[in-house]
Amino acid sequence: MVMFAFIAALILLLIYFVMRVQNLQRALVLSQSNLKASNRRINDSTSGMVVLAKQIQLFLVERLESSHKRGLIETGAFEVFQFVFHNISTIAVLCMDKGMTVEEALNSVLHDSDLTIEAVREKVKLQPSEIRVAWSQNTLEGFIIACKGMSFPVTKTEAASN
């Protein structure tokens, strides 16, 4: 009789663990499904972010070239900024996707170039204080604000009227 009770208890314990494993399997399948959905949303967001970064890049490159043609940007600064501006989307992706700072992303982009980070810094130092402050934040937001300011500098007559 004791043996029968012991076997019955083991069977009940086995049933309990089987039910527990099934519940855990269901939870695992649900978690995997949620993970796939989250990954899809992340991929969609990333591709949307890349498109926006490329559009910002095109807009700012056009503004930079237009300002240079009008004589608002000297040639040395234009050449440095042109390289940086043509890599805005790459820098943005490195900052958002890889978690890099702007300086790290810029160094990564400059790696295969003749241009150095010091040359970029020297040209940024010559910019108005609001551009230097935005640049020195070393964030993507500050970088975009600085690029916006560098692409269309304030003329002397505009500065006098402000």
Instruction: Check if the beta carbon of residue 94 is closer than 8 Å to that of residue 137.
Output: no
Which candidate, 61, 96, 103, 57, places its Cα nearest to that of 78?
Answer: 61
Instruction: Check if the beta carbon of residue 95 is closer than 8 Å to that of residue 140.
Output: yes
Instruction: Check if the beta carbon of residue 128 is closer than 8 Å to that of residue 47.
Output: no
Annotate the chain with three-state secondary structure: CHHHHHHHHHHHHHHHHHHHHHHHHHHHHHHHHHHHHHHHHHHHHHHHHHHHHHHHHHHHHHHHHHHHHCCCCCHHHHHHHHHHHCCHHHHHHHHHHHCCCHHHHHHHHHCCCCCCHHHHHHHHHCCCHHHHHHHHCCCHHHHHHHHHHHHCCCCHHHHHHC
Reported confidence tier of residue 152, pLDDT bands at 50, 70, 90: confident
Q: Tokens standing for 144? A: 């975009």
Considering the chain, what percentage of its residues have pLDDT values greater than 70? 94
Reported confidence tier of residue 147, pLDDT bands at 50, 70, 90: very high
Surface-to-core class of residue 60, CB atoms within 10 Å of its CB (0-12 exposed, 13-18 middle, 19+ buried)? buried
* pTM score above 0.85: no
Average pLDDT of the chain to the nearest whole number:
92
Per-residue pLDDT of 88-145, as tens digits, reads: 999 999 999 899 999 999 999 999 899 999 999 999 999 999 999 999 999 999 999 9
